[in-house]
A and B are shown apart, each in its own frame.
Chain A
Amino acid sequence: EAGVVQSPRYKIIEKKQPVAFWCNPISGHNTLYWYLQNLGQGPELLIRYENEEAVDDSQLPKDRFSAERLKGVDSTLKIQPAELGDSAVYLCASSYTGGSGELFFGEGSRLTVL
């Protein structure tokens, strides 16, 4: 069974540039999460999707971050414009249902903003 796939693995951009991350969850998993992880910290939730509906996006900085999950499968997380403080690893995870707690993570996308 294929795992959660994320791309790109690494991205280096200058501040004020846009960036986008893509995630393909495990087939059949209805719930998709985007987490942000800073060095030495645990993952922090940005947004959760149940199928194509964003059910918890209270931690997403909506002035610069946006996300979508068209057709309830793949998802894209966008930052525009990027700031220095956005440098982090962006983790996508999926689970069979919401509330499961048994999350399967992708390899992550490491963003460096110069």
Chain B
Amino acid sequence: QKEVEQNSGPLSVPEGAIASLNCTYSDRGSQSFFWYRQYSGKSPELIMFIYSNGDKEDGRFTAQLNKASQYVSLLIRDSQPSDSATYLCAVISRGGSYIPTFGRGTSLIVHP
């Protein structure tokens, strides 16, 4: 079982809708969670991080963390075609030398 699991998608949503991206992780001792966005042919860039249970909002993006259920999600409100990209979930586990472990990413397509 991979440490960080994501549905590869693609997830297709209409412009203006809410896109919901999910990620589960296997190490219950994980402590830091990150969302990276990767446009086709480009490198990943950090868009959100969350350390505590609950929600964290930044503009149109909301990260949600539920440590009991071992999942973290990213909501994108008012989705725009420019949000079309692959979203990578990364997790730092206490037992993993504090190195971010990435999921395979979920491809998001926002159509006009």
Task: Name B100's contact: one of A41, A91, A101 (CB within 8 Å).
Answer: A101
Of listed B4, B44, B45, residue having the most chain A CB within 10 A: B44
Residues of A within 8 A of B99 (CB): 33, 45, 48, 56
Whole-angstrom distance between the Cβ of A41 and the nearest chain B Cβ: 5
Contacts A41-B104, A45-B99 given; does A101 touch B92 at CB 8 Å: yes
Q: How big is the B interface, by class?
A: 20 to 34
Which chain B residue shows the least CB distance to A99?
A: B98
Subset of 12 A-B contacts with CB under 8 Å: A41-B105, A42-B90, A42-B103, A43-B88, A43-B102, A56-B99, A101-B32, A102-B46, A103-B44, A104-B46, A105-B43, A105-B45
Contact in complex: A42, B92 (CB < 8 Å): no
Q: Is B60 an interface residue (CB 8 A)?
A: no
Residues of B within 8 A of A (CB): 4, 6, 8, 32, 34, 42-46, 49, 88, 90, 92, 97-105
Chain A interface size band reads 20 to 34
Q: Which 4 A-B pairs have the closest CB atoms?
A: A99-B98, A42-B102, A105-B43, A42-B104
Q: Is the CB of A40 within 8 A of B104?
A: yes
CB distance from B68 to the nearest CB of A (A): 21
Distance of A48 Cα from B98 Cα, bound (Å)? 11
Q: Which one of B34, B98, B100, B103 has the highest number of Cβ atoms from chain A below 10 Å of its Cβ? A: B100
**Alpha-carbon distance between A43 and B86 when the two chains are bound, in angstroms:** 12
Chain A residues, CB < 8 A from B105: 40-42
- Cα distance A107–B88 in the bound complex, in angstroms: 16
Q: Which residues of B contact A56 (CB under 8 A)?
A: 97, 99
